[in-house]
Structure 1
Amino acid sequence: MMIFARFVVALFLIGIVLPPGFAIAQVPPNCEITKADDPERDILRCAFGIILEIEAVAEMAFTDGDEAELDLKNGAVLLEVTPGEARPQIRTPHAIAAVRGTVFVVDVSETSTAVFVVQGEVSVSPLGAEAPVALVRAGEGIDVSSQGASEVGVWGEERAAALMARFGR
């Protein structure tokens, strides 16, 4: 956790933010960035057990609050987190997705956030008063809006495949 927190602070201090179409000019220590095509995205691989695939249109920034956080405003990010390593949280306008050592996608639109888990588990906390935390497991997803959250459920093959195709998978 400390290594990831230092990474997040370093990104914050050097001002790395990923607006749409932005290419990362500086790569944080212990991380390397590559470009991928079909579809276009940036891939950030860090030595402490996290890989981020960032959709080209994603609006994302790294922040450092009470816990290490990624702030995703729009678009999608696929995360692969090695169990027992970094435990980032992804904050969106609608929810917080907390990593449990897994592979998952967070997709944000203007009106909602969708979280789909490929492998492992993710806890999803809708923002708002007294919102219950949902545990989402492999093959399941949840949609969260300002009106609340859907039930956790198995996503249909078509919806899951369409989301994963945005990352060439």
Structure 2
Amino acid sequence: MRGHAWMTCLVILCATVGVRSATAQQAPAGCTSEQRPGAAQTLRCRDGLVIVAEDGAKFTLQSYGGGGVEGVDLQSKAVLVDAPRQKARSRLQVITPQAIAAVRGTKWAVDAQESRTSVLVLNGRVAVRRPGGAGGQVVLGPGEGVDVDPGTGALEVKRWGQPRVDALLARLRQ
């Protein structure tokens, strides 16, 4: 993977929250927003970051002083994140109540649902752990996924079937 400017992966994170309808996220400084009624919202940010949010997704973009987007706090529905390779110490995160997924230079989707967080990687690598660290951390590679529940057991990496991947991408108009 070294030398590639982009890696591609898909991460689905499902959190313990009710599905609620939400208005479009306001574009933060350095980002532009596009949305058509009933369609996914697309945020294009500096440094090549693109975030596509499912219609009704509830999320907040995080910036910790660097000026750019450094994280997505996702509460419901799905987002697709396409992030170019970052500097070694910069790591974009998607955070839900059930899991934290962090990568450098990748593309992934995050879907906040009932009481679990599910993560799937198509290409690249994604580190996944519970917010409190229970069950350790797993690093997923292409085609690997993990379902994270609120428990404390070890996280188990599995292969996902194409129908599960296709269903989420359809919701994001991909």
Q: Same fold (TM over 0.5)?
A: yes
Partner residue, 1:156: 161
Contact 2:118 2:147 in 1 (8 A): yes
* Structure with the larger helix share: 1
CA–CA distance in structure 1, aligned partners of residues 124 and 58 of structure 2: 25
In 1, the alpha carbon distance for the partners of 2:36 and 2:124 equals 25
- Alignment check: 8 A CA contact 2:125 2:142 kept: yes
Whether contact under 8 Å (2:138, 2:155) holds in the other structure is: no
Q: How many residues align?
A: 149
Do residues 72 (structure 1) and 71 (structure 2) align? no
TM-score of the two chains, using structure 1 as the length reference: 0.76
For structure 1, the residue ranges without an aligned partner over 5 or more in a row are 1-18
CA contact (8 A) 1:60 1:73 kept: yes
Point out the structure with the larger strand share: 1
TM-score between the two structures when normalised by the length of structure 2: 0.74
Percent identical residues: 36
Larger RCO (alpha carbons 8 Å, 6+ apart):
2
> Whole-Å Cα distance in 1 between the matches of residues 110 and 39 of structure 2?
17
Q: Spell out, residue by residue over 1:29-75, the C-alpha distance to the aligned partner (whole angstroms, 9 max, x if none).
A: 332111257x7210101121211011112111123569933211111
1:122 aligned to 123, 126, 142, which one? 126
- For structure 2, the 5+ residue unaligned runs are 1-19
SS in 2 for 1:114: strand
- In 2, are the aligned partners of 1:117 and 1:140 still within 8 Å (CA)? yes
Amino acid across the alignment from 1:142: V
Moved over 3 A (4+): 63-68
Deviation digits for residues 62-96 of structure 1 (CA, Å, limit 9, x no counterpart): 23569933211111111111113563111101010
